[in-house]
Amino acid sequence: MRIAAQYSHLNGVEYLLVHHSDLWDEIRNAIAQVDAEACKTKVSKEKTMPGRRLYSPVDLNKRFRSNFRRLGWAERRNTFWVTDDERLMRGIHNRPEEEQKQAILAAGREPIMSYNQTDFVKDRIAVEVQFGKYAFVAHDLFVKHLGFFVAGIIDVGIEILPMKELEREMSSGVPYYERDLVNVLRQGRGVPAVPLVLLGVVP
């Protein structure tokens, strides 16, 4: 596969070029080594395109996972505790995990364990590969990447998305770069408050 388009939000690409040019090269190489044609394995059962052979999100994700894992990128989970008291939550959300739980218990509230999980993290850079449903992209950008950044785990979040030309050859409901680009742009220059790189890929 190849990168057909990219967008740097809050100088995400520039940060990589200055501080992690080696990882930026790794990411681009991991993408380039995905054989998309070998992933055109799904036979459509949708009424609009019955019997048509499509790119399989499952197979594409397997190829990406294999490439990134081989380069030492690993899944990462950020665990935290929540409760229903807004004022309490505002005061503890940046504290260490165990302190959050103890503060909730001390306030007489029920601590509820929660977590965010991202596909690949290495040296404070996070990568999400999104060939699932389009709603998941907003969760990646505004919850996962932002949450990991606020928690001090990452410095940049990267979102890999199909371009529209690839999305046309996939099942309905898949996200595409052009739509999610405008979804970020319409928020304004500072939202979400995390350096991001959006990458649009094609076979």
**Looking at the predicted structure, is the pLDDT value of residue 145 above 90?**
yes
pLDDT of residue 51: 78
**Looking at the predicted structure, is the pLDDT value of residue 187 above 80?**
yes
Mean pLDDT of the 83-107 span: 93
Interatomic CA distance for residues 18 and 54, integer angstroms: 39
Confidence of residue 105 (pLDDT cuts 50, 70, 90): very high
Residue 98 lies in a domain: no
Confidence of residue 44 (pLDDT cuts 50, 70, 90): confident
Question: For residue range 46-80, what is the model confidence (pLDDT) as tens digits?
Answer: 777 777 889 999 999 999 999 999 999 999 998 99
- The residue range of the domain holding 60 is 2-77+118-202
pLDDT of residue 47: 74
Domain count, the chain: 1
DSSP SS3 for 79: strand
Residue 11 lies in a domain: yes
**Looking at the predicted structure, is the pLDDT value of residue 129 above 80?**
yes
CATH of the domain at 137: 3.40.91.20
Residues 19-29: b if buried by 16+ CB within 10 A, e if exposed: ebeebbebbee
Confidence of residue 192 (pLDDT cuts 50, 70, 90): very high
